[in-house]
């Protein structure tokens, strides 16, 4: 029973490490592109105060600060550790130590992506409100702040960060750049870069924002078309990746001695390790194929 659980934990940790490595490479490429685009622009002031990674994740997902419910989180986790130890000894303790943290991390990531998608869908409407305010004679700063005030949640709640910074005498371009870097999204970075360029060199802000609206809507339409065209391929990949895991879970629930007999044998252990390695490599290959479509 211990061997398969340790293998599962190793596979999870390997997947997380590969994911972190790929995110680091992608972020480095994005930073290089943004540095070329922002060349000659005023530098963004560093954020005041130390914002930890956990607080950043919670706030981006719209969950507030984790310290607000820290006692409740720790109590639930401690109760889970105790129940895991009572039910399955140290294996249950280890499982309840890792699985709740992993589940919480996945939930925060899912909630952040869902919230971010909703914000991007609301962004063209907010920019359109800004353009209409500009054409009525208002300044760019007043138009943007007024559009934020008229927007719906979650975009209004997220962009209140810009309003607070402007009220603290931070310029609008720098406040928008701070917001864009906080949420790490290209659409927000383009919006902030457009404000920087207009603030530094002038120009027609209405035309710039209209082009940005058009780009966001075309990108959203292309994304939906791509999802519709690749739906069958993605479902097939999920089934092929999940079927071996489901079979292992079924055998462990119905007849655990079947796998333990293989694990206790030298040749069987080697075959199991090869199977796990091939499963991981197959999942990574299918994931890369889906991302390249």
For residues 158 and 199, state if they share a domain: yes
Task: Say if 255 falls within a structural domain.
Answer: yes
Task: Say if 258 falls within a structural domain.
Answer: yes
Q: 255 or 291, which is more confident?
A: 255
Are 158 and 167 in contact, with CB atoms under 8 Å apart?
Answer: no
Last residue of a domain, one of 178, 213, 248: 213
User: In the prediction, which pLDDT does 34 show?
Assistant: 57
Average pLDDT, the chain: 77
Last residue of a domain, one of 213, 247, 273: 213
Task: Say if 207 falls within a structural domain.
Answer: yes
How many domains does the structure of the chain reveal? 2
Q: 38 or 284, which is more confident?
A: 284
* For range 144-163, the mean pLDDT: 86
Task: Say if 33 falls within a structural domain.
Answer: no
Q: 30 or 38, which is more confident?
A: 30
For residues 160 and 122, state if they share a domain: yes
- Most confidently modeled of 39-48, 117-126, 268-277? 117-126
Cα torsion angle, 25, 27, 30, 35, sign: negative
User: In the prediction, which pLDDT does 202 show?
Assistant: 75
Task: Say if 281 falls within a structural domain.
Answer: yes
DSSP labels for 92-145? HHHHHHHHHHHHHHHHHHHHHHHHHHHHHHHHHHHHHHHHHHHHTT--HHHHHH
For residues 161 and 246, state if they share a domain: no
For residues 208 and 242, state if they share a domain: no
User: In the prediction, which pLDDT does 41 show?
Assistant: 42
Map tokens 């739906």 to a residue: 231
At residue 27 the predicted structure's pLDDT band, cuts being 50, 70 and 90, is low
Write out the residue range of the structural domain in which residue 138 sits. 118-213
User: In the prediction, which pLDDT does 119 show?
Assistant: 87
Task: Say if 26 falls within a structural domain.
Answer: no
* For range 211-215, the mean pLDDT: 86
The model's pLDDT over 183-205, given as tens digits with 9 standing for 90+, comes to: 888 888 888 888 888 888 877 78
Last residue of a domain, one of 148, 178, 213: 213
For residues 189 and 250, state if they share a domain: no
What CA–CA distance (Å, rounded) separates 132 from 208? 13
- Say whether pLDDT at 46 is over 50: no
Q: 120 or 42, which is more confident?
A: 120
At residue 50 the predicted structure's pLDDT band, cuts being 50, 70 and 90, is very low
For residues 200 and 125, state if they share a domain: yes
User: In the prediction, which pLDDT does 276 show?
Assistant: 82
Task: Say if 46 falls within a structural domain.
Answer: no
Task: Say if 162 falls within a structural domain.
Answer: yes
Rg value, the chain, Cα: 24
């Amino acid at each position: 029973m211990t061997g398969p659980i340790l293998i599962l934990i190793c596979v999870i940790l390997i997947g997380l490490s590969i994911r972190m490595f790929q995110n680091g490479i992608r972020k480095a490429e994005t930073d290089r592109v943004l540095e070329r685009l922002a060349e000659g622009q005023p530098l963004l002031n560093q954020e005041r105060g130390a914002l930890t990674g956990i607080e950043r994740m919670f706030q981006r997902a719209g969950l507030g600060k984790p310290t607000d419910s820290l006692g409740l989180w720790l109590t639930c986790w401690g109760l889970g550790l105790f129940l895991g130890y009572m039910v399955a000894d140290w294996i249950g303790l280890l499982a309840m130590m890792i699985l709740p943290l992993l589940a919480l991390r996945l939930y925060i990531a899912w909630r952040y992506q869902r919230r971010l998608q909703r914000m991007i869908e609301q962004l063209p409407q907010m920019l359109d409100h800004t353009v209409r305010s500009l054409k009525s004679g208002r300044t760019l700063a007043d138009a943007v702040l007024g559009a934020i005030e008229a927007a719906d949640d979650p975009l209004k709640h997220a962009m209140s960060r810009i309003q607070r910074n402007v009220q603290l005498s931070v310029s609008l371009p720098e406040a928008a750049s701070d917001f864009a870097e906080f949420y790490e999204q290209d659409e927000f970075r383009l919006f902030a870069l457009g404000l920087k360029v207009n603030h530094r060199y002038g120009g027609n802000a209405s035309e710039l924002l209209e082009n940005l609206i058009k780009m966001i809507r075309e990108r959203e339409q292309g994304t939906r078309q791509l999802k519709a065209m690749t739906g069958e391929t993605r479902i097939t990949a999920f089934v092929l990746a999940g079927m071996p895991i489901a079979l292992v879970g079924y055998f462990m629930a119905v007849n655990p001695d079947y796998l333990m007999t293989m694990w206790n044998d030298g040749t069987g252990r080697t075959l199991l390790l090869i199977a796990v390695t091939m499963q991981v490599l197959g999942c990574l290959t299918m994931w890369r194929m889906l991302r390249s479509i």
